[in-house]
Structure 1
Amino acid sequence: MKTPLATRTVLLTASIFLAGCAAIPASGPTGAQVRSQIRSDNGNMGITLVAVRSAADLPVIEKPAPTFGQDYVPPRPTELVGVGDVLDITVYESGIALFGRAAGLPTGEMDTSSKGERLPAARVSDSGTINMPFVGELAVAGLTTDQVERLIVRSLRGKSQNPQVIVSIREGLTNSVIVGGDVIRPGRLVLPTNRETLSDVIALAGGSRGEIKDMVIKIRRGDSNGEFRLSEVLDNRDQDIRIFPADRISVVKMPRSFSVLGAAGRTEQVGFPSSSLSLVEAIALSGGANPNTGDPRAIFVFRQTKGPDGQDIPVVYHFNMMQAQSYLLAQRFDVRDKDVLYVGNASANQPTKLVQIVSQLFLPLLTLDSIANF
C-alpha cells in the first residue's frame, strides 16, 4: 500500500529532529559553547576567561608608562645661538658713527646724538660664525644673545665710539620642531619660550583638521617614538608632555572602532562616537541582543592585552546581562580600540529554528498533497 505524502513528511521530520540541531544555521556559538571552547583552549592560545560579577573582576585601568625616558637631556636654552639661526643685530653709536651716515653735516661739526643702525640679517654658518662688518668672522654658536652682544662690543673697541649692541634671534632653527600631518599650518615651528607642551605646539600649528577623538599624535625624539591620543592629551595633564627642540611631530587620523558579531541587533564595525566608550554604550550602539536569536546572558568582549614582556595575551570578559548588577559593571567597563563584542546565540531558539526550516521545506508539499486529495 502506498504511504501518503503527509505520513512520509512526518516521518522525515521526526528523523531530522533525531539527527539533532548541529546543521541548523546560526550566527555563532552559544554562550555555553564559547565558555567550553575557551576552557579547553584547543588552539593553545592561552586565553583567559573572566566572568565579570563584581567590580573586582573589571580590568585594571593602568596608568601609561612614560613614553620617553627621564634621562633625556634637553637641548640648550632658548637664548643660545646655534648653527642656522638668523640674527638681527642693531648697533647704537654716539658721535662719529662707524655704521651710520654723517652726510649732510657742515664741515667740522659732529652729531652728538645717538643713532641705531640695523645691520642686514646674519645667518650663523655651519662653522658657527657670523660675518660682522669692520670686524670679520665671530664665533657665536653656543653663546647666548647677551654674550654675542658683549663679544661684538669688544670687537668694535677702537673702531667705534662707545657702541651699544642689541642682538635678537629672528629665526631660531635650533629651537624649532617640525609639525606635519593633519594640522592647519604644517612646517617648521619655532618654540617661543622652549617651555611649550604638546597641546601648545598643536595650537601654534593652527590646531587639528579632524575631530579630536580620531586624531593621534606621533612624536619622534632621537631614537625614541611616542604616540598619544589628542583627546587624552587635552583631558590628561600627564599626557600633555613638554616638547623639546628637534622633536618631529605628526598628527594623523586614526579613528577607533570595535566589531560586533554574533546574535546582536546588527553585526558591523562601529566607530567610537566620543573619546571614551563604555560597554553599555557599545551594546546600545549594536542594537543589543537580538530578541529572536540572541542570548543576553552571553555577552562577551574579546580583547588582546599586552603582557609584561610585550607579548599579546588574549582575554575574554563574560557579562550576564540578565543580572541587574551587570548593567552597572558594564558602565564601568571601557571598550578599547579593536575590541570584539560578541553576543551568544540562544540555545533555546534551536528547536524553533528547526521547526521554521521544516515548515519552509515541507509546507508546499503538504499543500500540494491536500489539493491532490481534494
Structure 2
Amino acid sequence: MVSSCGLPRSGPTKREVLAGAVERAGDAHVVPVTPAVSRATAMQPSFGFSDAFRKAGLMGSDVISAGDVLGVSVFENVKDDPLLGNTGQRVTSLQQIQVDGQGFIYIPYAGRLKAAGQTPEGLRQAITRQLEDQTPDPQVSVTRVAGDGATVSISGQAGANGVYPIEAPTRTLATMLAKSGGVAIDPGVAIVRVTRGSQTGKIWLKDLYANPALDIALRPGDKIVIEEDSRSFIALGATGGQSLVPFESETMSALEAIATVGGLSTASADPTGIFVLREEGEAVAREVLGQADLVGEQRMIYVLDLTEPTGLFEARDFQIRDGDTLYVTEAPFVQWQKTLGAVTGTTGAASNLANTATSGN
C-alpha cells in the first residue's frame, strides 16, 4: 500500500537515472568521469580581440580631432596697432575654439584652417604661415584641450559610466578603465566588451590585467561595456541547496559547484550517485564516446563517484559548463527509512484507532 502511494523524494534514484542510458534503450549516454573525459570536456568560453583591434597602434596623444577644443595664443612683435589685439596689447589669447564637424577652425586674419588630423605643432606652424605676412614675426602657441573629438563611452557595470576623452595617460583599454573607477562587480566574473564600428571583441577583465599584450589601443568612438558573466548551472537533489547557481569564476569544477551549493546533504546524499547532465556538442561527444558516427548534439550523463580512491580528484578536474544540471541522488537507505517510517506510522495510526474504538465500547 505504501509503495503504491509513493514516497516523497528529491528526484529520481540512481538506478532510475542509469535506466535512461542508451545501452538500456534510453536516450542519454552515461559516462563515468575519468581523466581522459575531463580533458576532452574541458571547454570554456574563449574571449579575445581580433587582429584589427590588437594591431591598432597607440593613437597620438596630441592629434586633433573634430569636436576637440583648442586654445590659441598669438604674440605680436609690435607695440602699436597690433593685428589681433588692442593698442598696446602684444598677446592675444583665443580660448575655447572648437574644431567643427568637418575638422576646421577659424582664426581672425588666418582664415579657416584644417585642424583635424594635425598635431598642435603642425597647426601652430600653419597659423604662423598665415599671419606672418600681416604682422612681423608672430609667435603662436596651440594647446589641445580634450573635448568631444577623441572620446570613448563606458557603460554597464563600470565604476562610473560616462564619456571619457582619450588623453596621453588613457590611450589603452586598461588605463581608461582605471580612469572610470574600475568595475562595480567582482572582477572574477567581469567581462569587458569593446565595440568599434561593426566589430566587437570581449575579454575577461582578469585576463586583461594579467596579460599586458591583451591591452588594446583605443580609438575615438569606441564603446566599452562592462558585463557580468551570465553563465549558470542548476543544482538539484540531495545538496545543501537546490537552485539556479551563477558561476563565481571563469572556470568551475564539479567539486567547486558542489561546495557552492552547500555541499552534499550528510543526511541523505549518495556520494556514488552524482550526475552532471549536459547537451554535449558533436565533436566532444565523438571524442568522449569514441564513436565517429554520432551526428549533432548528444545527451550526456557524466557520473562521479566520490567514494572511489580518485573520486575527489576527478570531481576537482571535471569542469562544469553553462547550462549544466548537477544532480545528487539520495542514498538507498533514505528511501528505506521513509518506507519504514510510513509503515510504522500507518501501523501506529491503526492501533490508536483500534484502541479508541475499544475504549469507546
Aligned partner of 2:330 in structure 1 is: 345
CA pair 237-359 structure 1, distance change in 2 beyond 3 A: farther
Aligned partner of 1:9 in structure 2 is: none
In 1, Cα distance between equivalents of 2:281 and 2:258: 25
Note the alpha carbon deviations across 1:45-96, whole angstroms, 9 max, x for none. xx65442122553433568253435488849644332222212222233345
Q: CA RMSD in A?
A: 3.6
Secondary structure of the 2:163 match is: strand
Secondary structure of the 1:121 match is: strand
Partner of residue 63 from structure 2, selected from 72, 80, 90 = 80
1:189 aligns with 2:171: no
* Residues 298 and 318 in structure 1, CA contact (< 8 A), matched pair in contact too: yes
Q: Per-residue deviation at 1:365?
A: 0.5
In 1, Cα distance between equivalents of 2:30 and 2:140: 73
Deviates more, 1:86-95 or 1:250-259: 250-259
The correspondence of residues 63-78 of structure 1 with structure 2, limited to 5 A, is 64=46, 66-70=48-52, 74=56, 77-78=60-61
CA pair 244-325 structure 1, distance change in 2 beyond 3 A: farther
Partner of residue 92 from structure 1, selected from 51, 75, 90 = 75
In 2, Cα distance between equivalents of 1:239 and 1:32: 49
Aligned partner of 1:54 in structure 2 is: 35
CA pair 348-222 structure 1, distance change in 2 beyond 3 A: same
In 2, Cα distance between equivalents of 1:56 and 1:119: 71
* Residues 65 and 149 in structure 2, CA contact (< 8 A), matched pair in contact too: yes
Give the TM-score normalised by structure 1: 0.76
In 2, Cα distance between equivalents of 1:227 and 1:312: 27
Q: Per-residue deviation at 1:203?
A: 1.0
In 2, Cα distance between equivalents of 1:202 and 1:135: 40
Q: Per-residue deviation at 1:42?
A: 8.0
CA pair 271-124 structure 1, distance change in 2 beyond 3 A: same
Q: Per-residue deviation at 1:248?
A: 0.7
* Residues 48 and 202 in structure 2, CA contact (< 8 A), matched pair in contact too: no
CA pair 181-145 structure 1, distance change in 2 beyond 3 A: same
* Residues 260 and 268 in structure 1, CA contact (< 8 A), matched pair in contact too: yes
Partner of residue 110 from structure 2, selected from 135, 139, 143 = 135
CA pair 103-162 structure 1, distance change in 2 beyond 3 A: closer
Secondary structure of the 2:310 match is: helix
Note the alpha carbon deviations across 1:231-290, whole angstroms, 9 max, x for none. 443345565444332111123455654331012233234455566543323223333333
The correspondence of residues 3-152 of structure 1 with structure 2, limited to 5 A, is 23-39=6-22, 49-54=30-35, 57-58=38-39, 59-61=41-43, 64=46, 66-70=48-52, 74=56, 77-96=60-79, 97-103=82-88, 116-152=91-127
Aligned partner of 1:211 in structure 2 is: 186
* Residues 214 and 256 in structure 1, CA contact (< 8 A), matched pair in contact too: no
Aligned partner of 1:233 in structure 2 is: 208
The correspondence of residues 178-327 of structure 1 with structure 2, limited to 5 A, is 178-193=153-168, 196-237=171-212, 240-253=215-228, 257-272=232-247, 277-303=252-278, 315-327=300-312
Aligned partner of 1:177 in structure 2 is: 152
Aligned partner of 2:292 in structure 1 is: none
In 1, Cα distance between equivalents of 2:244 and 2:44: 26
Q: Per-residue deviation at 1:322?
A: 0.8
In 2, Cα distance between equivalents of 1:232 and 1:23: 52
Aligned partner of 1:360 in structure 2 is: 345
Note the alpha carbon deviations across 1:284-319, whole angstroms, 9 max, x for none. 3333333443211111223456678xx976554321
* Residues 257 and 269 in structure 1, CA contact (< 8 A), matched pair in contact too: yes
Letter in 1 for 2:262: G
* Residues 55 and 329 in structure 1, CA contact (< 8 A), matched pair in contact too: no
* Residues 84 and 126 in structure 1, CA contact (< 8 A), matched pair in contact too: yes
Aligned length: 344
Deviates more, 1:327-336 or 1:290-299: 327-336
Letter in 2 for 1:66: G
In 2, Cα distance between equivalents of 1:305 and 1:202: 37
In 2, Cα distance between equivalents of 1:307 and 1:299: 24
* Residues 38 and 317 in structure 2, CA contact (< 8 A), matched pair in contact too: no
CA pair 295-228 structure 1, distance change in 2 beyond 3 A: same
Q: What stretches of structure 1 of length at least 5 have no aligned partner?
A: 1-12, 105-114
In 1, Cα distance between equivalents of 2:137 and 2:86: 16
CA pair 69-39 structure 1, distance change in 2 beyond 3 A: farther
Secondary structure of the 1:258 match is: strand
* Residues 77 and 194 in structure 1, CA contact (< 8 A), matched pair in contact too: no
In 2, Cα distance between equivalents of 1:305 and 1:153: 69
Aligned partner of 2:138 in structure 1 is: 163
Note the alpha carbon deviations across 1:311-341, whole angstroms, 9 max, x for none. 9765543211111312123223344454432
Identity %: 27
